Chain A
Amino acid sequence: MREWNQLEYPALLFCSSFVGFVSSLTRREIRGREIIKQIYECAVMSIPVISFSLGIVSLMSVLEFSWHMRVVLRQDALVPAFSLVLTIREVAPVVTAMLLASRVGASIAAEIGVMKITEQLDQLKLLAVSEVDYLLVPRWLGCLVANVALTLISIGIAGVVTIFIGARWMGYQPGEFYNSLLLFTTGYDLAGALVKSLCFGTLIPFVSAGYGLRCALGSQGVGEAATQAVARSSLLIIIIDLFINSLWWMP
């Protein structure tokens, strides 16, 4: 039997998880506690780092936009509008997913990798428990909810930071800045951001679990799996972001 490659294996895991999830729905065997635990681990525990990072990125993007606008147009009244569109379309979904990949993806790969090398996965098989249903479905749902929620929180933080900077450093009134904040933003942009966050929230657990399930024996193998999970997840996030952008916004 041919070995599944690095893209096919996560896709296979996703299909199995999807089938497992649907069948558990029909059997009404939702492992609610495990799902809540995963959402807690992925989302709640990531709020501080993601909020801080997105706040700083928004601050930098506003100041950078302001500098460019002042150089070209001698005024920067439309900076919040440009900055928020960039945040909604790109920064919020991608940076959130990258941070989640580095924080949660490594954790998933290492956890499943350790379970594999300590033969816990074999014990699951002996108990006739599907490793995909047991390990992957809760992590998938946890990561999905976490990524969508954190993306929305990131957008909110970006908006607040933009208005704060405008009032504090750029000499605008908060109301004045708020008025131009939503000038170029449409519901289509927000929908695009949600689609991206759903795709990335699905991608991270399956790529990471793929490396965890196939990790080599020994602590070096686990370390390798965690590193590869983060690196490949981040790379795939960028590539999928490009595809979604070209399908969603490009004429």
Chain B
Amino acid sequence: MEQQRKEFWVGTLVLFSVGLLLVFAWLLGFVQPLGKRIHLSVFYQFAGGVEVGAPVRVSGVKVGKVEKIEFLSSPASENVAGTSVKVLIGLDSQVRNLIRQNSKFYINIAGIIGERYLEVTPGSEDSPVLENGSEVRGMDPPRVDQLLSQGYGVFGRVQEFLERNENTMQELLTSVHSLMTDTNSILKKLDRKKVSQLIENLNTVSANVAVLSQQLRSPKSSKFIDQLADLVDRAHEIDKPALQKFLQEEGVRARIF
């Protein structure tokens, strides 16, 4: 009896421990007893610090993780040309119909300590669904380090330019300062009433021009312009010698054309 009791408890403990181990393995993503997973290879030129085990989110919801990262040993195929890193991701099959050919694969930063994750945007409905094992091109994350180093170079050149042309810059600034001072004094000397009157007149002129332009667009004006055009066309048809003769007969001496 005593021996059976011990065997029962030992068996229970061993089974419980094996169960716990399986639960931990499931929580950590090693065992997937429920549902199949789909795998995609995402290619990047720059992987932005993403690591194996980093979460993969679709529309902001965690649905998988980065399973493997490897450098390409041979040149990438045509649709992922120019890349050097292959990131293998595993996703729950429930998002299968959301991942389409025009889905975007971004590497983002989240949280207060800046952990990296892979964000996938759902594709549009008219785009075909990506098959398991497809190869896609990811959106390279912005190179902040490169931006900083380039900015550092630009700032260095600006500083060098300023140092080299210090006297010229001082003269330029002095000139600009004197120009501003002169402009200011001119503005002060101007009679404000006259300036107001001038602006008022300009305002009236612009209003009149607006009215005129509006009138020109009216049907009556259009008709007048058409008639004028017609008249000019007909005048063009008049024979030059006949016109000269008419003018000579009338006693007018003129040089036409």
Q: Using a CB–CB distance below 8 Å, which chain A residues touch chain B?
A: 33, 36-37, 39-40, 43-44, 47, 73, 75, 77-78, 145, 148-149, 152-153, 155-156, 182-183, 185-187, 190
Contacts and interface: CB of A to CB of B under 8 A. Distances in A.
SS of A interface (majority)? helix
B17 interface: yes
B28 A149 contact: no
Interface in B1-21: 3, 6-7, 9-10, 13-14, 16-17, 20-21
B8 to A, nearest CB: 10
Contact of A78 (B7, B29, B30, B112): B112
B20 A43 contact: no
A36 B28 contact: no
A46 B30 CA distance: 30
- Please indicate which of the listed interface residues A33, A39, A77, A148 has the most CB atoms of chain B within 10 Å of its own CB: A39
Interface residues on B, range: 20 to 34
B48 interface: no
Contacts of B166: none
B231 interface: no
Contacts of B10: 36, 39-40, 43-44
SS of B interface (majority)? helix
Contact of A187 (B13, B23, B28, B115): B28
Nearest to B21: A152
Contacts of B21: 152
Contacts of A183: 115
Interface string B24-48: 1101111000000000000000000
Contact of A153 (B3, B16, B29): B16
14 contacts: A39-B10, A39-B13, A39-B14, A40-B9, A44-B10, A44-B13, A73-B112, A77-B112, A145-B14, A152-B20, A153-B20, A155-B20, A182-B27, A187-B28
A88 B227 CA distance: 96
Contacts of B30: 187
